[in-house]
Structure 1
Amino acid sequence: MNDIELKIIDAALKIFSSEGYRNATTKAIADEAGVNESTLFRKFKNKENLFDSVIASNRSKVDKELDLLLSKNDNENPRKSLDFILNSICKVMKNNYELLRILIHENSRIKYGTKIDMFSMIIVKHLQPFKYENDDINLEILAVTIFSFFFVVHYKNINTNITETINMDEQIVYNHFKEYCARIIQI
């Protein structure tokens, strides 16, 4: 992608996140990107193609960011590894709140395997290498549970476009959640 396309995609991410697909206009996106609306249409043809490009581009970014963070996990201790994984997910979700907002609010509009399960697949990949005492653990369900927890904790931030650190009350809940996950997988 060239610089103009990236500017349009960044502007579209912001507008789709704040206004939703239905209320977002190509004029507002073009204005935000600092381009003519005709340039937007020349590059993306229509609003739907632009939306799909925003999702695909940002999914790739999130996949790489999360995978890069999680690949730095050199903990052989499953408990420390779980902490590292949870902290990494928290960081990526904060950095990508606009995409998360779109994924949640526009889930039915997303055409292909880009939905919430994208986080789950990456989480499972990084949980699999460990040996767990509980052989019945379904890592996919645990991954969705982890994503859901972080979404709920950050929901107010996602809905108000605020990326703050977890406040003290949320930190207490987060610590309890880490304990809960550790008990589930018996580490």
Structure 2
Amino acid sequence: MQKTNERDVLITAFDMFMKNVYNKTTTKNIAEECGINESTLFRKYNSKKALFHAAIEYNFTNSIQLDFDTFDYSGSMNDCLNRMLLSIFKLLCSTIPTYRLLIKVNLVDDSLLLFIKEKIESYKSIYINYFDGLKSRYSIVDLDSSTIINMQFGTLFSEVFKLDSSNITNLEVMKESIQPYLLQLNRIMEKYKNECEI
């Protein structure tokens, strides 16, 4: 099957790098899988490394889909926190294939790592703004939204990384995984809410 558009080439390349690792994946194999000449790949990507970086960047950018229904303030504080943590967990799950591939390969330059960091930070800022809204809605002060969201990203990332690939998209596993963090975050919010009422 001929895959001549850039999207298909990058998806195919990413999948082959994931399956075969970098050293065992050749541009010839990628070109064959796409039904194009290897020279066509080199016209667009000057090297295998450039194709690898483009595939990672494309996958990372396009695998993340935020559910904007998450950022609704309806329901209880627990409902809002549950939606937020589940959304963060799903976002992190969608990034895991990229991280696993990066761990396998030591060819990542600083510009690619900076790109990934900036993407994650832009998503964090959305959650920070949402958490600021929750604090306002429940009259909670003296609780730093940035710190809370950074803590959630860090702890949930470690939980996501523990999952095997068969469970990474299982919604029940996700819900179960966030429960201890939801309970703790609710305790923190209630503590600050009660202190504000005193």
Q: TM-score, normalised by structure 1?
A: 0.72
Shift in alpha-carbon separation, 1:184–1:124, aligned structure 2, 3 A: farther
1:183 counterpart (180, 187, 190): 187
* Contact kept? 2:93, 2:160, Cα under 8 Å: no
- Superposed CA deviations along residues 49-88 of structure 1, whole A, max 9, x for unmatched, are 112211222233245x22xx14652125543222112222
- Is 1:101–2:100 an aligned residue pair? yes
> Aligned partners of 2:62, 2:34: CA distance in 1, in Å?
19
> Aligned partners of 2:69, 2:82: CA distance in 1, in Å?
14
Aligned to 2:62: 61
Aligned to 1:73: 71
Residue identity matched to 1:165: N
Seq. identity, %: 24
Aligned to 2:41: 40
> Aligned partners of 1:48, 1:143: CA distance in 2, in Å?
29
> Aligned partners of 2:143, 2:180: CA distance in 1, in Å?
23
Q: TM-score, normalised by structure 2?
A: 0.68
* Contact kept? 1:14, 1:98, Cα under 8 Å: no
- Is 1:148–2:148 an aligned residue pair? no
Shift in alpha-carbon separation, 1:172–1:90, aligned structure 2, 3 A: closer
**Shift of residue 12, structure 1, vs aligned partner:** 0.8
Shift in alpha-carbon separation, 1:72–1:82, aligned structure 2, 3 A: closer
> Aligned partners of 2:107, 2:116: CA distance in 1, in Å?
9
1:165 counterpart (170, 174, 185): 170
* Contact kept? 1:103, 1:115, Cα under 8 Å: no
2:143 counterpart (111, 124, 135): 135
* Contact kept? 2:10, 2:54, Cα under 8 Å: yes
Secondary structure at the aligned position of 2:36 is classed as coil
Any gaps of 5 or more consecutive residues in structure 2? 194-198
> Aligned partners of 2:182, 2:16: CA distance in 1, in Å?
34
- Is 1:17–2:18 an aligned residue pair? yes
Secondary structure at the aligned position of 1:126 is classed as helix
Shift in alpha-carbon separation, 1:57–1:26, aligned structure 2, 3 A: same
Any gaps of 5 or more consecutive residues in structure 1? none
> Aligned partners of 1:23, 1:134: CA distance in 2, in Å?
53
Higher gyration radius (CA): 2
* Contact kept? 2:159, 2:177, Cα under 8 Å: no
